[in-house]
Every structure is written in C-alpha cells, then in structure tokens.
Amino acid sequence: MDGNGRWATRRGLPRAAGHSAGARAVRRIVEAAPGLGIGQLTLFAFSADNWKRPPDEVAALMRLFARYLRSETPRLVANGVRLEVVGRRDRLPALLGVAIDAAEQATAGNETLFLRLLVDYSGRAAIQAGLLLPDVDLLIRTGGEQRLSDFLLWECAYAELHFSDRYWPDFGPADLAAAIGEFRRRQRRFGGLPETAAG
C-alpha cells in the first residue's frame, strides 16, 4: 500500500489525511477480494524501516491502525474475514497491541478471507527468525515504485509482480480485478517447462 502521502500532498492535505484515505481503500479492497476469488490477502501497512519517519506521522499511523481495528472489527466479522497482524509487537503502543489482540480474537473463527496486516514487519528479519508465511501468488505494489522494500522476501520467490501507478487511496476493486485478470493470463512455470512442452 504505497502512495498515501503523495495522494494527500497532491490535494494540499496533510499526509495523515492520505493515510486515512488509505484505510478507506483497505475497506473497499477487503470487501471486494472474496468476490474476485481471493482467499488470502496480505497488506503491508508499516515496515520496520517506517520508524525512520517523523514522529508525528508515525504516531498518526499508530492511532489510525488502532482506530481501524476497533471500528472495522464488526464489519470484518460480518464479512467472514479472519484478521492476523504480523510483525514485531514490542515496539507498538500498548493500546494498539490491545486492539490487535481484540480484533484477532473476534475474527479468529472466520473463513471467507484470511487478511494479514503487516505492521512493524521486515522480510529479512522474518527469514532470520524463521517466521514464514504461505507463498505469495501475486504481489501488487501501488504508487509507481518498482521494488519490494523488504516485503515478504522469502514468500515472493515465485510471485507474479504487478506494479500500479495509482496511489493506494485511488486503488479500487476495478484495479484489483484487472490485476487478477492479468495474473490469470500469465503462465507460471516455477522453473519447469510449459505444460504443453513437458509431456
């Protein structure tokens, strides 16, 4: 989820307004995902390197995460979304930790969509600690940059990559549907040969 800050700056708004708009985009994407055949969705919300940002932006993001978890939990439950937050917990504000625990517990029994939120996450650190998630099929990065930025490095070994110039707050269900459509047309070989050539 990249481009919140630029989305806001382009509108003459503070960066925090971009993050709030980004949270609204999360709701739209999460609610559209199951209808597009997605069973697992992992969102990179805050990387271990994002602590380098100005303290007021970091604080605004932490408040937003806690507010999002509290206000969205009923909708997540209603939509059958199971939420798991992945990343270091020990550097997060205590109140955010409480909100994470509550949201995870409230959604633990849901099965329509497995939503993972990466918060204070580092792909390299996860590999060193052996904390690995399921393989990624499709990686979508918004905001125009074409890099991984310490996202699920191990899990993306054979991920299909999709880069969108849209800022995250503008990335909607139609964009997700288009990315999935393109993904389905790709031929994944995992180092092997095309099926027609193999036999």
Contacting residues toward ligand IPE, per CB under 6 A: 1-6, 19, 22, 45-46, 50, 61, 143, 168
Give, in order, the Cα–Cα distances in Å from 23 to each of 17, 66, 67.
10, 11, 10
Q: With CB cut-offs between 5 and 8 Å by kind, which of Mg ion, ligand IPE, none does residue 1 bind? A: ligand IPE
Q: How far apart are CA 180 and CA 138, in angstroms?
A: 8
Q: How far apart are CA 44 and CA 95, in angstroms?
A: 20
Beta carbon of residue 99, minimum distance to ligand IPE (angstroms, whole number): 17
Active site residue 137: no
CB neighbour class for 163 (10 Å; exposed up to 12, middle 13-18, buried from 19): middle
- For position 2 contacting Mg ion by CB under 5 A, the verdict is yes
DSSP H stretches of helix in 79-151: 94-107, 123-129
Active site residue 170: no
Q: Judged by CB under 5 A, which stretch of 2-10, 52-60, 75-83, 154-162 contacts Mg ion? A: 2-10
Using the minimum distance from each CB to ligand IPE, give the nearer residue, 87 or 143.
143
Count of H-run helices and E-run strands, the chain: 7, 5
Q: Which of 2, 4, 120, 175 is catalytic?
A: 2
Beta carbon of residue 56, minimum distance to ligand IPE (angstroms, whole number): 13
Beta carbon of residue 199, minimum distance to ligand IPE (angstroms, whole number): 45
Q: How far apart are CA 124 and CA 155, in angstroms?
A: 11
Using the minimum distance from each CB to ligand IPE, give the nearer residue, 27 or 80.
27
Nearest to 90 by CA among 100, 75, 104: 100
Q: With CB cut-offs between 5 and 8 Å by kind, which of Mg ion, ligand IPE, none does residue 113 bind? A: none
Beta carbon of residue 112, minimum distance to ligand IPE (angstroms, whole number): 25
Q: With CB cut-offs between 5 and 8 Å by kind, which of ligand IPE, Mg ion, none does residue 4 bind? A: ligand IPE
Structure tokens, 80 = 């059958």
Phi, psi dihedrals of residue 117, rounded to the nearest 5° = -110, 120
C-beta of residue 123 within 8 angstroms of C-beta of residue 86: no
Using the minimum distance from each CB to ligand IPE, give the nearer residue, 77 or 166.
166
Beta carbon of residue 107, minimum distance to Mg ion (angstroms, whole number): 28
Residues that bind Mg ion (CB under 5 A): 2
Q: What residues act catalytically?
A: 2, 50
